[in-house]
Structure 1
Amino acid sequence: MELNLWHIFSAVCASVADREAIVAAHRRFSYAQLADRSSRLAQVLSAHGLGVHTPRAELSGWEIGQDTVALCLLNSPEYLECSLGGYAARTAPFNVNYRYVPEELAYVLNDAGASAVVYHARFAPAIAATLPQLRRTPLLLQVADESGNALLSGALDYETSLTDAPALVPRTDQSPDDIYLLYTGGTTGMPKGTLWRQSDIWHALLSRERYALDDGADVIAAAAPGHNHRLAPCAPLMHGAGHCASLGALLSGGTVVFNDIVDRVDPTDFWRTVERERVTRTVFIGEAVARPLLAEVQSGRYDTSALDTIVNAGAPMTPETKQRLTAAIPQLSIADTAGSSETGRSLQQNSTTEDGVRHGGLFTPLPGAGVLDADRTRVLEPGHQGVGWFAKSGRLPLGYLGDRTKTEQTFFEAEGVRWVVPGDRAQLTSDGLVRLLGRDSATINSGGEKIFSEEVEAALMTHQDVADAIVIGRPSEQWGQEVVALVELAPGSAVSDHDLLVAAGERIARYKLPKAVIRVPSMGRTTSGKPDYPWAARQVTAHGEGRPIPAE
């Protein structure tokens, strides 16, 4: 079943036109209203000549034949309108980290060849500073917000443009080959754009299992009326987990609920939203997001009786935190999923209180997932000793935008099957479960032993006084590299380094324990909650030179 995302949305909308599609503060949009606004945005893009200029069949995996539309937006209805409207116009909308400074913005916009930029007015100064560095002049659409920033010269007001646009979409030739463009966060390198066929991203990540049927597109419209989950993404839409969860909800007849506070995770605001809107499902990104939300919900002040599922994606969550969440919300199911921009949904761990503790770090591979040997030439069988590479086959991205070399290194054939290896080291247990060890780029080689940062971070965070932790390696004359931990303690904690290491030593071997613990007032993480390893390296260097560590 080959499908286009706009066609799927149109089919769902035809079945549930009056259902709430998006709830955001004081704004509520039905599916019919969302379709109308998205169609108008498509008209604006098409009227400025944006769309397809080279057929997919004439392109290599790292090339794109569509105009790209940068979304520099906070979580908002406009983000989803621009996604859907971009697909309707046969452009390729893509995510931009709104915390980037002009130099970083310029890199991403040039890398994507952005034909248009849609941005909240609060980001207008950064966009203005970026424009002189761009190789092409993009169409600018400015979304008004409480910042009050004036419209940039040459920019169009978003709301006025939609009001003035006709309501009908001029084209119906959208294709399953149209591109879904998703930029990686660049945690350990420069951001890269992954090019997915829309039909492939639908099957690999966006479709919920009950809708992934093979008897025609009409099953989506038929299924939607009987299901109305309400999703509150506790993740920015500029992160793949937040966007894919929200888009997937709309493509299956659900309602996307945004918090009132969207520029950060505010625990009080989040749980008030869950209670007020009867949210059934949410998305977390790891321990850094989960811990403050857990602390707030344990107060017992909120009605969370409608919430039945937390999907954790993008970063690990400790078994202890899962246990405490399910104790605070008894009906809750926590699904740990592992995937990436390159693989889509690939591993899953359904956790109850007991199960989460017993199987922390182990995942059930979904169809197409596996482990390749160290040379990436052979698929390993369950019980194989040693460390290999986590890999995924099946529906995969075409490649990295504009990067033939990286595409050919990451996507390749093994045993006659096309695989992607995003860079995670892994082991395969005797019963076929996958143990993820962490990114190879975040691996510490100490005395010939490979130590994975995520494993040490998880061990440190089992101590109740540790609010957050990031582990990296630093040069060592004796060991080549040695493990160093940056730790943010809970307010008022006086726990000693010795006690922290003793607690961690109950989970990991002695040689993996940090040789030094550096305390920081606040932890450096990306907007999505992932560890900011370059930031951590700067702090370790500053500490070694005796310089104070500024809070960031």
Structure 2
Amino acid sequence: MANNFADLFEHSVDAMPDRIALIQRDRRVTFQELDIRANRLADRLAASGVGHGTHVGFQMHNSIETMETLLACFKLAAVPININYRYGPTELAYVYGNADLEVLIYHACYGKTVRAALEVTPTVRQAICVDDDRETGVPGTGVVLYEQLVEAGRPTRPSVTRTADDLFMMYTGGTTGMPKGVMWRQEDMWRVLGGGVDFYSGEPVRDEYQQSATGAQGVPAIWFVLPPLIHAAAMMPTFNALWSGNTVLFEPRFDPARVWQSVATHKPHVMVITGDAMARPLIDSYIEEPVDASSLLVIASGAALLSQPVKNALLEQFPTSMVSDSIGSSETGFGGIGFAQKDDDPARGPRVQTGRGAVVVDEDGRPVAPGEEGWLAKTGAVPLGYYNDPERTARLFKTVDGARIVVTDDRARAESDGSITLIGRGNMVINTGGEKVFPEEVEAVVKSHDAIYDAVVIGVPHERWGQQVAAIISIAPDRTLDFDAVRTHLRPHLAGYKIPKRIWVADTISRSPSGKPDYRWAKDFVTDRAPDHQSE
């Protein structure tokens, strides 16, 4: 079996060529149309020297052209590299260089920062500019216009030998340090996040044709994928949907009002989101201006915290929808899935039924007993390691008792019923007087206060305790905040040393495009700024 991403897509094209593959506002393309345009782009990329293993950066928001770019790369056995379009020139130059990009494809609206980064990254030999909903590309020195390439390309599929070992790479991080590339075999990524193994039963599919064959026999669903395709939380659901013959709906950027207009117009069945960062504004917008959302059968969250108050609100506003909450990472893929229930304890971390190979291990990489804490790890289909980082690869990717295992920085607890409770990121732990505090646990409880819209928790220096728990919060619209009332609200759920002693108020909390807290921003925000509230 080949099991390259392009093979899996082409199976869907062959099985249902006239079915709608992608919708972007008033644009619709069939599987066959998407395949032909990806072939045309692949032809021109190949003519410029892109081939097996070539690193091609894509600095693009969600669009049909983004999927054409990804498919064209996979068709050539090249390696598309996700580039965070919110980065500034310095961060971009780092990723371009660290990832050894040879070609960059970018949306025109990011042209200014792209040009600044390329000036100090001479290794990128070709830049391709894509028109978007905001700007039109202008040819310049070393810049080629995307649409001209596509129009000039041949529509036939490239003759390229593709294998299950072809590389899939996802750059991750940047909230606490510089981004790093996680390398996977494409078959392994398909198995853990692309539907190669059934998410619920854990049964592997029969062969590479089963998804498309099953999809062709059924009625397609519409998946509304809201996170950016530069994140695995969006890219893999999108590919999973296409490999199964479903339709994927995109908006260029996250705008809650536009999202609900699209729901009313296109009637999607599945909505993919990332935690509170998307769910809260979606709920607010829906309450302000409701639409017919009865088509939504599943609201699926992953990659970021979905707090209990937000779960409650989703279940109240959309009582006919199932709300799921998954854990995983670029290093582990799918780790497990849980389903929201109303009024669970807000202090309890996400609890999921374990996914394929998910386990809690001790410092030696061996499973802990039920009730004990350890590190969240993954066995079975795991990544090859970090690109250009052998030291970190050796630390996290290990062989224990003859089996490959990746040990993450996530702390977790093995429960007696076989499930796993996620506690928090070990590399963000706050050490206050010898006690360890995980920011995610505190954030979940802080955000359960009805006057607090969003929050991020960090450790700040303290002369006596080493570090002290602190929070940056944003206040819910039309609400006022009583800091003493917040402390009263927190006490039943948190030990005294976990309650934030210093609180800053910000208009908004900075997050990555995938919804994860930007802890670097948080630490910069509190530097040389007096807190709005302080207690001992």
TM-score range, shorter chain: over 0.9
Stretch moving more, 347-356 or 289-298: 347-356
Q: Say if 1:382 and 1:429, in contact at 8 Å, map to a contact too.
A: yes
The number of residue pairs the alignment matches comes to: 527
Cross-structure match for 1:415: 401
Instruction: Flag the 1:299–1:360 CA change in 2: closer, same or farther, 3 A.
Output: farther
Q: Say if 1:460 and 1:501, in contact at 8 Å, map to a contact too.
A: no
Cross-structure match for 1:524: 510
Within a 5 Å distance, the mapping from 1:507-522 to structure 2 comes to: 507-522=493-508
The answer to whether structure 1 residue 36 and structure 2 residue 36 are counterparts is: yes
Cross-structure match for 1:284: 273
> Which among 215, 218, 241 is matched to residue 209 of structure 2?
218
- Cα distance in 2 for partners of 1:187, 1:151 equals 34
> Which among 440, 446, 449 is matched to residue 463 of structure 1?
449
> Which among 208, 233, 236 is matched to residue 225 of structure 2?
233
> Which among 32, 43, 63 is matched to residue 76 of structure 1?
63
Q: Say if 1:319 and 1:360, in contact at 8 Å, map to a contact too.
A: no
The offset of 1:215, in angstroms, is 2.9
Cross-structure match for 1:91: 78
> Which among 105, 113, 121 is matched to residue 134 of structure 1?
121
The answer to whether structure 1 residue 254 and structure 2 residue 241 are counterparts is: no
SS in 2 for 1:128: helix
Cross-structure match for 2:46: 46
Q: Say if 1:281 and 1:310, in contact at 8 Å, map to a contact too.
A: yes
- Cα distance in 2 for partners of 1:156, 1:347 equals 43
The offset of 1:248, in angstroms, is 1.7
- Cα distance in 1 for partners of 2:349, 2:174 equals 26
The answer to whether structure 1 residue 445 and structure 2 residue 434 are counterparts is: no
User: What is the RMSD computed on CA atoms of the aligned residues?
Assistant: 1.9
Within a 5 Å distance, the mapping from 1:153-172 to structure 2 comes to: 153-172=141-160
> Which among 328, 338, 342 is matched to residue 331 of structure 2?
342
- Cα distance in 1 for partners of 2:9, 2:65 equals 16
The offset of 1:456, in angstroms, is 0.5
Cross-structure match for 1:203: 191
Q: Say if 2:397 and 2:405, in contact at 8 Å, map to a contact too.
A: yes
- Cα distance in 1 for partners of 2:417, 2:348 equals 12
- Give per-residue Cα distances to partners, 1:496-549, cap 9 Å, x unaligned: 111112112232222210111111122121222111101111112122499xxx
Q: Say if 2:13 and 2:35, in contact at 8 Å, map to a contact too.
A: yes
Instruction: Flag the 1:418–1:239 CA change in 2: closer, same or farther, 3 A.
Output: same
The offset of 1:287, in angstroms, is 1.1
Instruction: Flag the 1:376–1:271 CA change in 2: closer, same or farther, 3 A.
Output: farther
- Cα distance in 1 for partners of 2:485, 2:465 equals 24
The offset of 1:383, in angstroms, is 2.5
- Cα distance in 1 for partners of 2:386, 2:250 equals 31
- Cα distance in 1 for partners of 2:44, 2:489 equals 58
The offset of 1:42, in angstroms, is 1.1
Q: Say if 1:383 and 1:432, in contact at 8 Å, map to a contact too.
A: no
Instruction: Flag the 1:85–1:525 CA change in 2: closer, same or farther, 3 A.
Output: same
Cross-structure match for 1:351: 340
- Cα distance in 1 for partners of 2:60, 2:45 equals 17
The answer to whether structure 1 residue 327 and structure 2 residue 319 are counterparts is: no
SS in 1 for 2:310: helix
The offset of 1:83, in angstroms, is 0.7
- Cα distance in 1 for partners of 2:523, 2:198 equals 44
Cross-structure match for 2:165: 177
- Give per-residue Cα distances to partners, 1:433-462, cap 9 Å, x unaligned: 211111111110111110000000000000
Question: Match of 1:182, as an amino acid?
Answer: M
Question: Match of 1:441, as an amino acid?
Answer: N
Within a 5 Å distance, the mapping from 1:342-381 to structure 2 comes to: 342-353=331-342, 361-373=350-362, 375-381=363-369
The answer to whether structure 1 residue 151 and structure 2 residue 139 are counterparts is: yes
The answer to whether structure 1 residue 542 and structure 2 residue 518 are counterparts is: no
The offset of 1:152, in angstroms, is 2.8
The answer to whether structure 1 residue 302 and structure 2 residue 291 are counterparts is: yes
Cross-structure match for 1:436: 422
Cross-structure match for 1:486: 472
- Cα distance in 2 for partners of 1:455, 1:496 equals 22
SS in 1 for 2:515: coil
SS in 1 for 2:102: strand
Instruction: Flag the 1:405–1:526 CA change in 2: closer, same or farther, 3 A.
Output: same
The offset of 1:272, in angstroms, is 1.1
The answer to whether structure 1 residue 397 and structure 2 residue 383 are counterparts is: yes
Q: Say if 2:192 and 2:356, in contact at 8 Å, map to a contact too.
A: no
- Give per-residue Cα distances to partners, 1:400-419, cap 9 Å, x unaligned: 11111111111002233211
SS in 1 for 2:478: coil
Q: TM-score, normalised by structure 2?
A: 0.94
Instruction: Flag the 1:35–1:149 CA change in 2: closer, same or farther, 3 A.
Output: closer
Q: Which runs of 5+ in 1 are unaligned?
A: 53-65, 547-552
Q: Say if 1:362 and 1:433, in contact at 8 Å, map to a contact too.
A: yes
Q: Say if 2:196 and 2:204, in contact at 8 Å, map to a contact too.
A: no
The offset of 1:227, in angstroms, is 4.2
The offset of 1:94, in angstroms, is 1.5
> Which among 487, 510, 533 is matched to residue 519 of structure 2?
533
- Cα distance in 2 for partners of 1:191, 1:421 equals 18
- Cα distance in 1 for partners of 2:488, 2:438 equals 19
Instruction: Flag the 1:363–1:527 CA change in 2: closer, same or farther, 3 A.
Output: same
Question: Match of 1:515, as an amino acid?
Answer: K
Instruction: Flag the 1:5–1:472 CA change in 2: closer, same or farther, 3 A.
Output: same
- Cα distance in 2 for partners of 1:357, 1:462 equals 7
SS in 1 for 2:36: helix
> Which among 388, 392, 410 is matched to residue 406 of structure 1?
392
- Cα distance in 2 for partners of 1:161, 1:327 equals 49
Cross-structure match for 1:5: 5
Instruction: Flag the 1:330–1:492 CA change in 2: closer, same or farther, 3 A.
Output: closer
SS in 1 for 2:290: coil
Stretch moving more, 410-419 or 390-399: 410-419
- Cα distance in 1 for partners of 2:448, 2:394 equals 40
Stretch moving more, 158-167 or 219-228: 219-228
